[in-house]
Structure 1
Amino acid sequence: MTSELKAHADTLRALHHADEMLVLPNVWDAASAGIVVEAGFPAVATASAAVSAMLGFPDGEGAPWQEMFAAAGRIARTVPVPVTVDAEAGYGLEPRELVDRLLEVGAVGCNLEDSDHRAGGLVDAGANAERLAAVRAAADDAGVPIVINARVDTFVASSGVPPQERVAEAVRRGRLYLEAGADCVYPIGVGDEQDVAALVAQIPGPVNGNTRPDGLDLARLRELGVARVSYGPRFYFGALDTFRSAVRELLD
């Protein structure tokens, strides 16, 4: 089992450095994961907002971590490709326990964000870097080099970072997180093309970006040098919108 997980982790890491940009249409259950794999995507990523909503809880670590990991396990058991889990801010788990729980459900990657869901704002960058380093050390000790996507939340309104400082602070945090052992930096919420270009140029590692319905698309993100693109809960909420329209038609 460890050798299979290690192979999946190595594959997922390599996808962040491939010539082709890694595109991850985030999933919320085994059925949606199966659709993504059937379409030909080389990896599966969960979206915490979608999974927690499916379970009946709010986003932002509102769902019990046990239920979030159980959902991830059902996904990993049904697909033959690497699975990376949106683990939010880590649910307060100690690094080794976090790694053990990920491996236990068959995941070989995780998102870890630097928002403080209890106190609000951002956690101290240095302290978060130390935590990421501890997660990296725990993964190495477990024999599976889990792929860490370090989310940087300076562009989130609740972060408290002034707009004119968001790029510089994201770069500072991104560099710290890469030095600590993260594999990719995810400055979520960036919509300005110049900001994306600056982040890619100044962060010395893979950068995770997002498309926008009225802005940046996959082709432009690829041109800007973004290594990974994810969609969060967009497809989950889109599926609910389709269902909502369909059931309302039954009443007409």
Structure 2
Amino acid sequence: MTQALKAQAFKSMHTTQNPVVLYNIWDAGGAKAIVDAGSKAVATGSWSIAAAHGFDDGEAMPLDFVLQIVERIVASVDVPVTVDFEGGYAVSPDDVAKNAVMMIKAGAVGINFEDQVVQGDGLYKIEQQTARLKAIRQAAERMDLPLFINARTDLFLGSDPKTHSSLVDEAIEREAAYRAAGADGFFIPGLTDTALIAKITAATRLPANVMAMGEIKTSADIAHLGVSRLSYGPGPYFDATSDLKERYSAI
């Protein structure tokens, strides 16, 4: 398939009846392994890629290096590849858009794009993040690629679960703004309360993405919540390195 057809196919995988499962990987070998096991799409995880190459998460790994890895992953599999783009490796809309163009040229058909201020404090204000999102959408349109922009909000990740109910209204507000700016999906990592997840999916229109955490382990755990995508984040990397240590220790 062409890159554009892969992007269209990837978008069609996001259904509430059968959520797409993305078992996040960090290199071409991992991508080939999960495709051989039956995965219809490949997703990277920023934490995993960084750790696998000796960097901290949070855009500490040079973007040029990330792009090389993405190119190898795309060349190694024949399924859609979506990339954890973190905060776009820039602040201004123009610079974020330029970096998104490089990611598209590397072969990505989708990106995760988060609203936390990477290497800073807090989240971008809604109007700031929507300007950044619009810039990415316009850049992708100029390249005639229906890039799947998975707009991630970090409202819940790393915050006290006791406060999550008070953040739902802002999450719903951000979804509406991000959707209007051109997002294709809405990612709410860190939220594991199924009642709150269902409340958000009932009030929003973008395909919702949750991360496997807490009691959420498989697609069966979220299929009844109106969720269209399940990601595993750094979990697969933790499991792989733990297994490596155990095997070495057993020698």
TM more than 0.5: yes
- Cα distance in 2 for residues equivalent to 1:185 and 1:174: 6
Aligned residue for 2:36?
38
- Cα distance in 2 for residues equivalent to 1:22 and 1:38: 16
- SS, match of residue 148 in structure 1: strand
- Cα distance in 2 for residues equivalent to 1:164 and 1:214: 18
The offset of 1:111, in angstroms, is 0.3
Contact preservation (8 Å) 1:185, 1:205: yes
- SS, match of residue 107 in structure 1: coil
**Map 1:143-154 → 2, pairs under 5 A:** 143-154=144-155
Aligned residue for 1:71?
69
The offset of 1:62, in angstroms, is 1.5
1:48-101 per-residue CA deviation (whole Å, 9 max, x = no partner) reads: 000000111111111111111211111111000010000100000724312321
Contact preservation (8 Å) 1:155, 1:189: yes
**Map 1:43-54 → 2, pairs under 5 A:** 43-54=41-52
Contact preservation (8 Å) 1:95, 1:138: no
Aligned residue for 1:196?
197
Q: Which amino acid aligns with 1:143?
A: D
Q: 1:86 to 1:139 in 2, by over 3 A?
A: same
Residues 1:82 and 2:80 are matched in the alignment: yes
Q: Which amino acid aligns with 1:220?
A: D
Q: 1:20 to 1:215 in 2, by over 3 A?
A: closer
RMSD: 1.9
- SS, match of residue 127 in structure 2: helix
Contact preservation (8 Å) 2:35, 2:77: yes
1:134-164 per-residue CA deviation (whole Å, 9 max, x = no partner) reads: 11011001111110000011002369x9544
Residues 1:20 and 2:21 are matched in the alignment: no
Aligned residue for 1:243?
244
For these two proteins, the number of residue pairs brought into alignment is 247
Aligned residue for 2:133?
132
- Cα distance in 2 for residues equivalent to 1:18 and 1:112: 21
- Cα distance in 2 for residues equivalent to 1:61 and 1:218: 29
- SS, match of residue 208 in structure 1: strand
Q: 1:163 to 1:214 in 2, by over 3 A?
A: closer
TM-score (norm 2): 0.93
Residues 1:208 and 2:191 are matched in the alignment: no
1:19-38 per-residue CA deviation (whole Å, 9 max, x = no partner) reads: 42111101111111001111
- Cα distance in 2 for residues equivalent to 1:137 and 1:6: 15
Aligned residue for 1:7?
5
Contact preservation (8 Å) 1:85, 1:107: yes
The offset of 1:213, in angstroms, is 4.9
Q: Which runs of 5+ in 2 are unaligned?
A: none
Aligned residue for 1:123?
124
TM-score (norm 1): 0.92
The offset of 1:216, in angstroms, is 5.7
Contact preservation (8 Å) 2:191, 2:197: yes
- Cα distance in 2 for residues equivalent to 1:162 and 1:181: 29
Q: 1:68 to 1:146 in 2, by over 3 A?
A: same
Aligned residue for 1:91?
89
Q: 1:5 to 1:18 in 2, by over 3 A?
A: farther
Q: 1:177 to 1:199 in 2, by over 3 A?
A: same
